[in-house]
Structure 1
């Protein structure tokens, strides 16, 4: 079996507050209208807002509530992400819940949106998981996709679908749409980039096929996007090439070049070290004449 139905949920939500009732309602409506859905994916930090003051240790009562919903409907559920507290550190963490209501993985966002996402640590473990008899899925969050190494690593671990909750409310959303298409094409995988709406994002969620083709792009309001994918399409395109042409994963595997940058202990270089600190731009004062 290679067919699988994933519903992305783009939800208008409160920036600082409890959005779980709205999420539960959306799932109730979604499953009543589209009972074929097997997995549901929400946007980043949608459950209880974008303030680190809501951070909780995991497992938590909030995560347990989502486990109950997943078991109720027998669906895979990725309820966006939530701030996770681990002693004195806070992570931006996405839980992967299976149809029996068990958490099978937690992914910590690797690249917090610094310098704006302050007080959040970056994770260092890649997460892939298998849906039995279907295929392998990978997880990343928001700014992670701006670093091609993240999606390439997930693809090299066998991921055929990337699940990517995001919370973008800034003027660079158009660039992210291009990055989502590029990540899908160069890794020959499906890419589900689900954004929030209203106070939690400017919408425009996008679902991309393994040729970089746009399967669906949402508007700016509430939207439920049930989409059937075919994992055999990923396998065929990885075998024969994007549109029968480029086979980037095989070429990367068979490369004759190593990348010395990645052998650096710091991951830096003399040029990168000249770029200055990672800080918000400062206002430039204009002298009066």
Structure 2
């Protein structure tokens, strides 16, 4: 399965950013991509750096945006993973990944389940936690286990997707550094981020695709200086091996061949699913084990 990872920055306006995205999708198609993955909230800025009720207006175009990306998926005949700001009802908004098949059909959507609330990442102000559960989305190229950004730190989410038959784990992402952090701290954060997702690949015998944004985006509230998104989009195989890795500062179209058959091969030699002690895991459902 030839897969394209579209690593992109924000181009000042939604229109210019979308135009660049479409150019990169065209490039991916010319290179033979069957699956194209865009980054988290790829149409605009990462607006969650501070709290501003005006940003909720960005969700008003959810239906229009869904129609547009449906047409793009059909035009380029690719399975497309988009990441959009969904207005579900007055006062209820979601960070939603929408999956389009190569004929433009909406095959499913995933509403981000784990919502962070940290300096520069005030997502709890904007997003209601998802209620779609961890359900793989069936497409013409297979079952996609789509999760979003902060979900990537939780092994439970990856495991449930795998147990339900996902053939690949996909994480549209927006994560970066603060320039004030030391170089050692930046290195630790990046290495932890890559390591945890490689761990999901290993623990579940599945390929993993993670697409992050790049570029510096100001915190216009002045509370912080802004976020420098660290890129490093990558794909890993079912033993955690890095298949492709992007830079930390450039827009790129990465193409990788995902061999889904390797999941069966790896699970035969590393039978983690066989040896799970499902009779002994009830404590995982507790908030904390005193």
The answer as to 2:136 corresponding to 1:117 is: no
The TM-score normalised by the length of structure 2 is 0.81
In structure 2, the residue matched to 1:105 is 108
CA distance in 2, matches of 1:236, 1:182: 18
CA distance in 2, matches of 1:109, 1:76: 20
Secondary structure, aligned partner of 1:174: helix
CA RMSD between the two structures: 2.0
The answer as to 2:119 corresponding to 1:95 is: no
Quick one: which of 9, 15, 19 aligns to 1:12?
A: 9
CA distance in 1, matches of 2:57, 2:241: 37
Aligned partners of 1:15 and 1:199 also within 8 Å: no
Quick one: which of 198, 207, 222 aligns to 2:215?
A: 198
Quick one: which of 155, 160, 182 aligns to 1:148?
A: 155
CA distance in 1, matches of 2:12, 2:264: 39
CA distance in 1, matches of 2:263, 2:12: 36
Output one character per residue of 1:73-94: Cα deviation in whole Å (capped at 9) or x when no partner. Answer: 1110112x12111221111001
Cα distance change on mapping 1:15 and 1:250 into 2, 3 Å:
farther
1:190 Cα offset (Å):
0.4
1:55 Cα offset (Å):
3.7
The TM-score normalised by the length of structure 1 is 0.82
Cα distance change on mapping 1:157 and 1:15 into 2, 3 Å:
farther
1:54 Cα offset (Å):
4.6
Cα distance change on mapping 1:47 and 1:7 into 2, 3 Å:
same
In structure 1, the residue matched to 2:261 is 232
Aligned partners of 1:15 and 1:50 also within 8 Å: no
CA distance in 2, matches of 1:258, 1:29: 46
Aligned partners of 2:28 and 2:36 also within 8 Å: no
Which consecutive residues of structure 2, in runs of 5 or more, have no partner in the other structure?
48-54, 178-185, 218-228
Q: Which structure shows the higher helix fraction? A: 2
